[in-house]
Structure 1
C-alpha cells in the first residue's frame, strides 16, 4: 500500500484522489510517508470541521515526539512554534500578535497594499509573457509581511527561498537546512532590532519580551519565524490558484469584470474551489474517540484535509464547479476553531486587491501555456503553482 498523497498526479490535481478517499470513508486510516507509517485522514466536510475544533486532537508536537527516534533536524523555532501548541499556551502567544491582524489593522494597510500592487503591475511588459507567481503572487505578500516585521529589503528573496524550501516534499535534508537558515536569520534579526529598535511588529514583540518578560527568547524567535513564513506562503498560493481558476472559467471572469463589487464575496468561492492549504498542519489524538464513524486510537497522527472538505458534495453541491452564486461561505481554507488562520483578513485583502487590479488592467489576459504543462508545488500541505505564465494581446488597454 502506497501513500496516496505523494503520487505525482496528486500534486497536479488532488481532487480525484480526495473524492475517491472521501467516497470510501470521510475518515480513514492511510499510509503516509516511508516505512509504512499510518495516519488518519479526514476528508469529509462535517468531520473536518468537527476535527478542527476537537480538543482531543493536540498540536503539541514536542509532547508527541518525546522519546521517539527522529531523523529530522528542524530548528526549534520551526518545530516548536505557536502552531505546535495547545491551550493555554496557544492562547497566550496568539493574543500577543492578534492585534496586528485585526480587521481594523488590515483596513489601515489596504492603501499601502494597493500601492504595492500597482507598483508591481507597472513593471509588467506591454503584452507579456509574465509569470504571475514570480511577479505578483510572491513579492506582494512577502513585501507586506517583511515590512511589518522589519526585514531589510536586501534579505527578502533569501528569506522567501528558505521558506519555500521548508515545504520540500521528499527532501528532508533541504527542509531541515532551510529551517536552520531561517531560524538563525531571525535570531540575528531579533538581536539587531533590539540594539536599534524601530516601530515594526517584531519590535513590538521584543518589547513584550524585554519589558514584561512574557515571552521567552525561544518563543520570540519562533513567533517571528512563524509570522514570516505563514505571512506569505498561503497568500501566494491563494492569488495564483484564484487567478488560474478565473482564467479557466471565462464566464466567471467576465462576471467579475461586469460586477467588480462581487469580488469580495467571490473570494470565498475561490478559496473553496482550490484551497491554498491542502492538508492542515500536524495533529494527533490524545485519547481514543470516534469521528465520522471511524474509531481513532490514542496517540496517532490525524490529517485534516480542507482541500477535500471544501469539495464535499454533501456540503457544496456540484463542488467541482466554480459558482459565485454559491458564495462559498463556510469553507475551511483557513481552518476552523482556535487555530483558524490568524492572517486570514490580511490574505483576503492582498488577494482581493491583486486580483481586482489584474482584472481591471488586462482585458485579454490568458495562460501562456496549456494547463497540463503548469507545474504545482510538490507538497501535500500547500496547494500552489510554482509558476503561472500569462500573456495578452499587444495593445490591450491598461489603466494608468
Structure 2
C-alpha cells in the first residue's frame, strides 16, 4: 500500500504521469488520506477532499465560503490583483450576493429556454462539420469541440462573430498560465484585455441594445440597480468563460473515450436514445472539471476525521468523487447503460447553491455535437490510436481536458 506521504507527494507534483492518469492517485487518497493537506505552488494552506460523501457535503457547506473578498490575501497570491475585477461575480460570492446575481441570469438557462436553442445549436454543429476535411487528419478540438460552445454562448451574450476568436485566445491564456513571472504577466495582460473588451462591449449595448443577454443585463443595471458596473463586466466574463471551456473539453473527452471503446460507441449509434445517459456517464467518468473552484474555511471544520483549520483553502476533487467505489459500482468502467439512479448522482456539475447554472445548455450542446458527429461519420477514428491521449497541462488541477484530438472523420472516403 502506498503511504499517505507518498500519495500526498504524488498529488502535489502534478507530473506528466499524473496528468495522463490521475485516477490511481485519487484512489490512494480516498483510501489513505481522504482529506489531504496540500502544499501547492501558490503557498496557501490547502486541503483536498476526495471522497464522494465528503465532496457532496462540502459543496453545500456554508462554513466553506466562496466569497473571494473574505480570503483576499490568499486569492491575490494565487490569481494576482488583475483577476479581482473579472471575478466579482456569482461564482466567487456567498448569499445574499450570490442569490441576487444568480437570479439575474437564471431565466436564460431554464430547461425550456435551453430547449428552444436546439435548432440553432444543431445548425451550428452541422455548419462546422460541413467545413471539416474528412479524409485527412484534423485536430477536432479547434475544428469542432471549441467552436460549438463558443458560438452558442457568444450568440447568447451578443458578441459579434468577428470578435470571438480573440475572446477564445484571451480566455485560454487566463486558464492555462502557471506560477512563473512570465506566466503571471501573460495572465495579467489577458485579464486586463478581457476587462477592457467587455467594458467596451457593454458601452455598445447601451448605445444599441439588441435581443441578447448582455443587453438585458445592461438594462437591469441601468434601470433597477440590480448589479454594479463591475459586477456586470465580471458576470459577462464568467458566462463567456464558463459557457465554453468546460463544454469544449467535455466534447473532446467524450469523443476520445468513445473512439477508444468501440462497443460503447456502437451502442449509442444503434440506439440514439442512449446519448443523454451517455453524456451523464461521461461527465461522471471523465468530466471536464477536475476540481471545484476554491473555497475557504470560515471556521474550523472536520471531514473524515481531519480538521481543516479556519482560513485554509479547500479544493473538492470532483473527478475523484465521481469514481468513489462507495458510491458507484465499477467506477472505473465507462458504461453508457449504467443505471440512471447512480449515473445521475455524479457531482460533475457541482451540488448545492453553486450547482452549474449552465448544466442544461452544456448537456444539450454535448448531446447534439456527439450524436451529429457520430451519425454523419460512423467510421470516425483516431488518427494515431497507438499514441494515446495528450492531456492538457495545467498549473493546478482545475480543468480535465485534452491538449489535442487528432482524428480522421471518414478514412474510407
Same fold, TM-score > 0.5, yes or no: yes
Q: Is the 8 A contact 2:177 2:186 kept in 1?
A: no
Q: 1:332 to 1:130 in 2, by over 3 A?
A: same
- 1:232-381 paired onto structure 2 within 5 Å: 232-326=244-338, 327=340, 328-370=343-385, 372-379=387-394, 380-381=397-398
CA distance in 2, matches of 1:158, 1:318: 42
Q: What do you get for the CA RMSD once the two structures are aligned?
A: 1.7
1:211-232 Cα distance to aligned partner (Å, 9 max, x none): 1111110111110110010110
Aligned structure 1 segments of 4 or more residues deviating by more than 3 angstroms: 66-71, 370-374, 392-396
Q: Is the 8 A contact 1:146 1:156 kept in 2?
A: yes
Which one is further off, 3-12 or 170-179? 3-12
- 1:206-225 paired onto structure 2 within 5 Å: 206-225=218-237
CA distance in 2, matches of 1:77, 1:120: 34
Give the C-alpha shift of residue 80 in structure 1.
Answer: 2.4
Q: Is the 8 A contact 1:76 1:222 kept in 2?
A: no
Q: Is the 8 A contact 1:4 1:10 kept in 2?
A: no
Q: Which runs of 5+ in 1 are unaligned?
A: none
Q: Is the 8 A contact 2:35 2:49 kept in 1?
A: yes
> Given the two structures, how large is their TM-score scaled by the length of structure 1?
0.95
CA distance in 1, matches of 2:76, 2:195: 23
Question: Residue in 2 aligned with 1:387?
Answer: 404
Q: Does 1:164 align with 2:184?
A: no
Which of residues 129, 137, 145 is equivalent to 2:145? Answer: 137
> Given the two structures, how large is their TM-score scaled by the length of structure 2?
0.92
1:326-381 Cα distance to aligned partner (Å, 9 max, x none): 24211011100000111000000000000001111112111112464532222211
SS in 2 for 1:115: helix
1:30-72 Cα distance to aligned partner (Å, 9 max, x none): 221255x431101100110000010000011111125987482
Q: Which runs of 5+ in 2 are unaligned?
A: 1-7
SS in 1 for 2:82: coil
Which one is further off, 321-330 or 68-77? 68-77
Q: Is the 8 A contact 1:169 1:378 kept in 2?
A: no
Which of residues 73, 77, 82 is equivalent to 1:74? Answer: 82
Which of residues 50, 55, 73 is equivalent to 1:48? Answer: 55
CA distance in 2, matches of 1:305, 1:52: 11
Q: 1:69 to 1:376 in 2, by over 3 A?
A: closer
1:157-183 Cα distance to aligned partner (Å, 9 max, x none): 110011111112423222222211111
Give the C-alpha shift of residue 325 in structure 1.
Answer: 2.5
Question: Residue in 1 aligned with 2:3?
Answer: none
Q: 1:159 to 1:393 in 2, by over 3 A?
A: closer
